[in-house]
Structure 1
Amino acid sequence: MKSFRKDFLWGGATAANQVEGAYREGGKGVSVADVVTVGSHTQPRRISLDLDPQYYYPSHQAIDHYHHYKEDIALFAEMGFKAYRMSISWSRIFPDADNETPNEEGLAFYDGVFQELQKYGIEPVVTISHGDIPLALGTRYGGWPNKKAIDLYVKYAVTLFERYKDYVRYWIPFNEINDIFLPMSSLGQGAMLDEQSVYFTEQADRPEARMNALNNMMIASAKAVIAGREINPAFHFGTMICHITRYPRTCHPDDVLLVLEDDLYFNNTCADVMLKGEYPFYTLNRFEKEGIQIGLSEEEKAILKEGVCDYYTFSYYQSISESTLTFEDQTSGNIMGGIKNPYLKETEWNWPIDPVGLRYTLLKVYDRYRVPVMITENGIGCVDRMEEDGSVHDPYRIAYLRDHITEMRKAVDEGVDLIGYTAWGCIDLVSVSTGEMKKRYGFIYVDCDDQGKGTQIRSRKDSFYWYKKVIASNGEDLD
């Protein structure tokens, strides 16, 4: 069996709003994430623009990476990380999105982060916008449905390219950009402020506004890629697709057709635009049938064609099953829905566990795009418990990752050009769907609970030592 390439980018991934905290330090402005309260598996998160003191807002403190980044990066280095996928907080650079000049304190903070990564030889993979924007972009302009967001984003991206051109080679314009096909995504894109509902998952849906937001994000991405390559031709730009692998629940032809259509629309549309430079026929046809107008000009079509990315990244946590028939057993722990798959186990949050689905996905996307592929999110959220001696035993996490890495290697053996793997939540962080800390993903335990209480002390879990061994053996030793 073929081995992983010698320069394989083993590492981990986080997002600024889920780890940094320090939400008003260093000149940072308020972001959308900063006005969303903690929730749970059964209680949805609330949107509270007035920052009501009776609620806890997880992003305000998170795991305080802002003050602990040197310690955290040293732990990543101890594991042997070759890469660290991170994001930059837009509101830390341009507090109100439309500021004339960037916030120097915010830029200096990331100078320190990149210098620390460079010290240990860790390659940064940087997401420019990770599902969070300055709140002012939403309140003043209505967020991404407004074309004004394009120029503001490009100004922000160019600021990063010029400042960090000697530190960063791998850039990702948007995290899980295809999430915008879900109604709840209107919050993260700033088109929220629905006075009829205060809940994160229950915002009023305006499909045409969402699709115009998507189109503006696509144009912004392409413009940023064009500008970035002028600043440094050595830059690499990647997609970041939330890939929800779909199976027909039965072999009924209607189920097979349903899965095909949903896979094309949800999983492939954005990657087609970002790697092929144009909207696929099936998406344009669907827009037409649903009466959605995106007003794409000839000039914008040319921009999309020129500003294509050169590698494919995606998140993979699970697969889902779909059917045109009625099944009572539904999955309940994730926003993607789906019917329970009788052949798969589930996590504590009812997410299906499907390692073989990752291999299937790798083969599918590499066959379609024929560009280098990187898995930038994969992991399992669980309740971890610290023992009296300070140890954290998480065999379930090791088993999950072992099974997925095994399938990755099989995909490599079958010819997929896989260049990297950054496990999600390499250090415990705030869950974006529920705002909880107890839903832990990391190799590193952070002493902090769902209300932000705790010492913030970092501790190595069993999976820390296991992943260190995996990296040292370049994926050969998974025991």
Structure 2
Amino acid sequence: MSNSVFPKNFLWGGATAANQFEGAWNVDGKGPSTSDMLSGGTHTVPRRITRTIEDGVHYPSHEAIDFYHRYKEDIKLFAEMGFKTFRLSINWTRIFPTGMEQEPNEAGLKFYDDVFDELKKYNIEPLVTISHYEMPFGLTQEYNGWAGREVIEHFMRYAETLFTRYKDKVKYWLTFNEINCGTVPFGGYLALGILNEGTQDFLHQVDDPQLRFQALHHQFVASAKAVALGHEINPDFKIGCMIAYMTAYPYTCNPDDILLAQDHMNMRNNFCGDIHVRGEYPYYAKRYFAENNIKLDIKEGDLEVIKQGTVDYYTFSYYMSNCVSADPTLDNTSGNINGGVKNPYLEASDWGWQIDPKGLRYSLNEIYGRYQIPLMVVENGLGAFDKVEDDGSINDSYRIDYLKSHIEQMGEALKDGVELWGYTPWGCIDLVSASTGEMEKRYGFIYVDKDNKGQGTLDRKRKASFFWYQKVIESQGEQL
């Protein structure tokens, strides 16, 4: 134990999102969120975005895995693994059903009180994402999501409600999940709640870059305001950002590939991080905006707000890396948020996501070298098909191999001098996939009996990785 490279207070845990595992989508006063309007899909059939709830259509978030009614059972399992922290998000529409109410829904607030009390019972520190891909659909209908500046005010009412209610129960907060998802067309609806005329499905949205980056600006202002307000309400709060880190390597040493990779890393990863951490729009954004005909409407005082509301720590998701090339004839591969050129040195998951543990060490060093503030890896994991054996066991050795190799590289980054606070692998219990709506793309240490069509008992089963991760935490990362 004394030889562990991981600090004694390292926050081992797991991560989830309300819209992907809570269910109870219209229970106890909850209103419809953007995710509640997404039909089921697969990695070949895109999810549809419906303007109304249609009869006979499967909406995966409506029941999800029903954490809402099973939270005590699930938290007990997390405690059995030894979790020090649990990353979860609040369902905005549990608190403000349309997003526009003046007074919060008490039943929704009480649910999270109960969840936080249950976590405290096992000494598990909550790590709370305020907005994780579930903005009220009412705000999409009224303002076209974050494209409307009015949403800042509604978000601030929501954030203030959370900070005030849970000021003695939650210390670690994140403002927006994977905020940089808004830099790509795919994130228009997912991250920003934008639903342009003509959009039918999740993967083929009618895109307006001007609208998207204006909406992102509104989120930056809202995030900075929330950070300042949170610190005012409780100076002990630690409030961070969350970035989908899309690591990109140049495919060759051709200078065109090098410059493309640099541009990708800047606009996909660094753009949002620079604004959150450094408190200002970066120099390279000016050329991007000019070349894409983006003219932001920045109101007086916005830039001062952003400057004053910088984050305390930086968190990110890391699943894979991709290559970038100027050669249009090369084969592409899929990935989280966006794919890239296939790397001949890497293997890939069942979904074509390339597996690159050393890319995590590289990314940790890149981020820490840029910002010099504490980091957390708050999503990482392997989505795979899991088979339940005749004796009920689930031998997910492929998941153990994936996580083991990534934890080893986090250890290397710690030796490199990176300040790393914690690690919360994604989907610590099987949940609905955000991009496809599938259940059978599983990430969890805990198996949930449910299929892509929404059928199943919802019974929970411990996988082999459950007992492996239990030992990892117990040994402080020594026994891998």
Match for residue 218 of structure 2 among 207, 216, 227: 216
Contact 1:2 1:413 in 2 (8 A): no
Contact 2:181 2:191 in 1 (8 A): no
Would the alpha carbon gap of residues 273 and 29 (structure 1) be closer, same or farther in structure 2, given more than 3 Å must change? same
Corresponding residue of 2:127: 125
Which consecutive residues of structure 1, in runs of 5 or more, have no partner in the other structure?
none
Deviates more, 1:50-59 or 1:147-156: 50-59
Would the alpha carbon gap of residues 193 and 312 (structure 1) be closer, same or farther in structure 2, given more than 3 Å must change? closer
Match for residue 6 of structure 1 among 8, 17, 20: 8
Contact 1:189 1:213 in 2 (8 A): no
Contact 1:178 1:270 in 2 (8 A): yes
Corresponding residue of 1:256: 258
Would the alpha carbon gap of residues 386 and 2 (structure 1) be closer, same or farther in structure 2, given more than 3 Å must change? closer
Match for residue 427 of structure 1 among 426, 429, 434: 429
Tell me the CA shift for residue 295 of structure 1. 2.1
Corresponding residue of 1:409: 411
Distance 2:400 2:193 in 1: 39
After TM superposition, the score normalised by the length of structure 1 is 0.98
Contact 2:181 2:337 in 1 (8 A): no
Tell me the CA shift for residue 184 of structure 1. 1.6
Match for residue 293 of structure 1 among 275, 292, 295: 295
Which consecutive residues of structure 2, in runs of 5 or more, have no partner in the other structure?
none
Q: Secondary structure at the match of 1:477?
A: coil
Contact 1:135 1:190 in 2 (8 A): no
AA aligned opposite 2:318: Y
Distance 1:204 1:165 in 2: 40
Corresponding residue of 2:100: 98
Corresponding residue of 2:38: 36
Q: Does 1:181 align with 2:183?
A: yes
Corresponding residue of 1:436: 438
AA aligned opposite 1:157: A
Tell me the CA shift for residue 327 of structure 1. 3.4
Distance 1:249 1:193 in 2: 35
Distance 1:408 1:154 in 2: 35
Contact 1:174 1:221 in 2 (8 A): yes
Q: Secondary structure at the match of 1:374?
A: strand
Deviates more, 1:297-306 or 1:407-416: 297-306
After TM superposition, the score normalised by the length of structure 2 is 0.98
Match for residue 81 of structure 1 among 67, 70, 83: 83
Contact 2:18 2:90 in 1 (8 A): yes
Would the alpha carbon gap of residues 274 and 301 (structure 1) be closer, same or farther in structure 2, given more than 3 Å must change? same
RMSD over aligned CA atoms reads 1.1
Tell me the CA shift for residue 287 of structure 1. 1.2
How many residues are treated as equivalent by the alignment? 478
Would the alpha carbon gap of residues 273 and 362 (structure 1) be closer, same or farther in structure 2, given more than 3 Å must change? same
Tell me the CA shift for residue 195 of structure 1. 4.1
Distance 1:282 1:330 in 2: 26
Tell me the CA shift for residue 283 of structure 1. 1.0
Contact 1:327 1:339 in 2 (8 A): no
Corresponding residue of 2:138: 136
Tell me the CA shift for residue 197 of structure 1. 3.5
Distance 1:87 1:104 in 2: 17
Tell me the CA shift for residue 333 of structure 1. 5.4
Distance 1:198 1:68 in 2: 34
- Deviations along 1:417-453, one digit per CA (max 9) or x if unpaired, are 0110000000000000110000000000000111111
Corresponding residue of 2:448: 446
Contact 1:39 1:436 in 2 (8 A): yes
Q: Map residues 133-172 of structure 1 onto 2, 5 A cutoff.
A: 133-172=135-174
Tell me the CA shift for residue 191 of structure 1. 4.6
Match for residue 463 of structure 1 among 462, 465, 470: 465
